[in-house]
Structure 1
Amino acid sequence: MSSIPTTTKTWILANHPKGAATYSSSDESATFKLVEQEIPKLGPNQVLVKTLFLSNDPAQRVSIESSIPAERLYAPPVQLQAPMKAGGLGEVIDSTADNIPKGTIVQAGLSWSEYIVLDAAAASPRKPLPNGLSLTHYLGALGGPGLTAYYGLVIIGEAKKGQRIVVSGAAGATGSMVVQIAKNVSIFFPQPKHETCAEKDRDEQIVGASEVIGIAGTDEKCRWVESLGADKCINYRSKTFEQDLIKATDGFVDVYFDNVGGETLDIMLGRLKQGGVSIACGAISNYNAQQPSVLKNYFQVITMRLSIRGFIVLDYAPHFGEVIALFIKSLQEGKLKISDESEQVVSTPFADIPKTWLKLFDGGNTGKLVTKIV
């Protein structure tokens, strides 16, 4: 029987980044630094978790940004010299909690650490998924990105049958779920933000968008987005991207699900119908930029009576279980496509965790980007 570890390797936030983050075990100016720390002894109702998989999310970049006042963030930022925050999946290797024995696979906020001590209440055991799917989908389509897609489109965007919808970052973890929810996935009413949503009160129906237009970074990704249900997909790296997007949105559209911000948002402010809605989910094109983007079409927010609606999916946390159950049902009914193509799992030595995370910002991944610790 292997002994319980007493120390853990951990990536800490050593410096706030200026532009793209950097990492090193020795460079004092790097954003992230690799250190070794002692593991505290377990207290009552605690577990020691070995990290197996880490979730890579654009919002992590915001959590280490020094230019945004902490009081304007929805969650406390990572403090200097503290472990980098990350959700993930891990195996319980020691436990003082009766309800989470050793060997349990849990989902939790693990940080970029080999091992972490958690209160049992902060660790959620995960059951096997149908169709032999990997548990890593709890970090993507059946986790935060999928939930963000649902609440952003259905609740914040109030998407309706017959509407035309544009989705940027459509080959990403959230965007690829938006495409499917807009076309095929049943939703239920009353809305999940209500305090109760009993089975007898549910009236299931699909959003039923008349047209979904995706935006992705390669022709290959666009074909995948179309296989999920998009009517067409446009490559934003094409030299004719703006003209292609304007042509595709001829007659204008009702809803824009924005994952990227920047120039694409600016174009779309000019492509929304009067009263149209831009769902502000993310702005990944700006996260490493040292100069703010300029919205030349912003005045159309006024002239066309547009709404730009920001949201944080954590506001709906009490109802996450209901929506995940809905996704699993849709998966079993063939209305939702979740497969190996829905995620990119990168086998990563612990020393290269930041390197894999940085793949988020070069547009190279398809679906959810997951780090597998090897």
Structure 2
Amino acid sequence: MSPTTSKTLILQNPPTTDTDLSLGGVNSTFKLESQSIPELNEGQYLVKTIYLSNDPAQRGWMQKDSDASRSYIPPVRQGDIMNAVAVGQVVSSKSANYAVGDLVLGLLKWREYSVQDEKPAAGRPLNKINAIPGFSPSIFLGAFGSSGLTAFFGLTDILKLQKGQSIVVSGAAGAVGNIVVQYAKHVIGAGKVVAISGSDDKVEWLKKLGADISLNYKHPEFKKQLNDATEGYVDTYFDNVGGEILDQMLTRVRAHGRIAACGAISVYNSLDSTHLANYSQIITNRLVLQGFIVIDYLPRYSEGIAALSAALKAGKLDVKDAETLVKAEFEKVPETWGLLFKGGNTGKLITQVAELA
């Protein structure tokens, strides 16, 4: 029997700084609602959300009074269902293109069930995916999803990293960063990979993945350690955090070096933007600092997937350990997402809210 209602999480108080991830309070960022599921029309199908992607970028999507004209996707406004990429499974269908049991990938949002159109009036239809033997379908949210593709295109197109060159990666134990470390070292053949993370356990894990030098930014001597690790300067820097580490790295990239600005998680919950005391280094050392979003490469996703697949088959990528999967009740979705900002994940953070049929 098909469900008739769906739990959803609504943006109740768009944040300007920190989020309140408890539910039920007047100041809570989100509120829980039960919404009716309409009957399916021809060409429609019902999807059950299984795996939710947790991404730092979601914090920017919900920022209060954000300028839609400066956003790469429509912002989430007060009263909207919170947006999220997810893997789901078709549980009912009146579509010739989507059958019961099919796995799908796309913007399913923070809701248990959603009615989808095979030919939506706006946006893209959901992508059907085929499970990879030996791997959870959640891999399509991590190593074979936007995270892995971000790492691939950031390395090859933005940084143009070449064999023998050196790279520093911040947020290296995160969803994107760990793939950057592995692909740079084992596929491209980087001469030196310096990985930055936030715990001693992560430091050791990144060494196992291929980092030549692995640093904990919480160590009291971190700034000196980073200077020592980049003695003679480095060719490239893959930035996932912004803030003070980016500022220091402006002094550690060699002249004419390249910086990929992928994320700024250190300042997402702050009213203060990233203040770069060393900004003049961009000019004096003719650095290229380029921001990018993976959807810019949508027409080339198949190229990235092929490259990542080849690396996996060659044993040059460890993806089974590059995921933190949290099974949680739907009401715990915001709380689990919040682990991103506490360093509570190793690799891709994924919330599983239901079981596959």
Match of 1:364 among 344, 347, 355: 344
Report deviation, 1:24. 4.5
CA contact (8 A) 1:60 1:86 kept: yes
Q: Deviations over 1:77-119 (max 9, x none)?
A: 0121110001111111111112211111211211110101112
Change (3 A) 1:335 1:25: closer
CA contact (8 A) 1:25 1:35 kept: no
Aligned length: 349
Partner of 1:234 in structure 2? Answer: 215
Amino acid at match of 1:154: T
Choose 24-33 or 342-351, whichever is displaced more: 24-33
Report deviation, 1:161. 1.8
CA contact (8 A) 1:24 1:34 kept: no
Partner of 1:175 in structure 2? Answer: 177
Give the 3-state SS of the residue equivalent to 1:136 in structure 2: helix
Partner of 1:110 in structure 2? Answer: 108
Amino acid at match of 1:248: A
Q: Is 1:280 aligned with 2:249?
A: no
Partner of 1:346 in structure 2? Answer: 326
Match of 1:219 among 197, 200, 204: 200
Structure 1 runs of 4+ aligned residues shifted over 6 Å read none
CA distance in 2, matches of 1:329, 1:277: 26
Report deviation, 1:67. 5.1
Report deviation, 1:32. 0.7
Partner of 1:322 in structure 2? Answer: 303
CA distance in 2, matches of 1:119, 1:276: 46
CA distance in 2, matches of 1:158, 1:184: 16
Partner of 1:296 in structure 2? Answer: 277
**Superposed CA RMSD:** 1.3
Report deviation, 1:268. 0.2
Please show how residues 27-66 of structure 1 align to structure 2 within 5 Å: 27-66=25-64
Amino acid at match of 1:267: Q
Q: Is 1:128 aligned with 2:126?
A: no
Q: Is 1:355 aligned with 2:330?
A: no
TM-score by length of 1: 0.90
CA contact (8 A) 2:195 2:214 kept: yes
Amino acid at match of 1:347: K
CA distance in 1, matches of 2:103, 2:352: 14
CA contact (8 A) 2:66 2:75 kept: no
CA distance in 2, matches of 1:102, 1:115: 14
Amino acid at match of 1:286: V
Give the 3-state SS of the residue equivalent to 2:176 in structure 1: helix
Amino acid at match of 1:90: G
CA distance in 2, matches of 1:103, 1:299: 56
Please show how residues 150-229 of structure 1 align to structure 2 within 5 Å: 150-185=152-187, 207-229=188-210
Report deviation, 1:326. 2.3
Report deviation, 1:169. 0.6
Report deviation, 1:141. 0.7
Amino acid at match of 1:308: L
Q: Which runs of 5+ in 1 are unaligned?
A: 186-206
Report deviation, 1:234. 0.5
CA distance in 1, matches of 2:195, 2:246: 13
Q: Which runs of 5+ in 2 are unaligned?
A: 120-124
Amino acid at match of 1:126: I
CA distance in 2, matches of 1:43, 1:147: 35
CA distance in 1, matches of 2:243, 2:250: 11
CA distance in 2, matches of 1:26, 1:183: 47
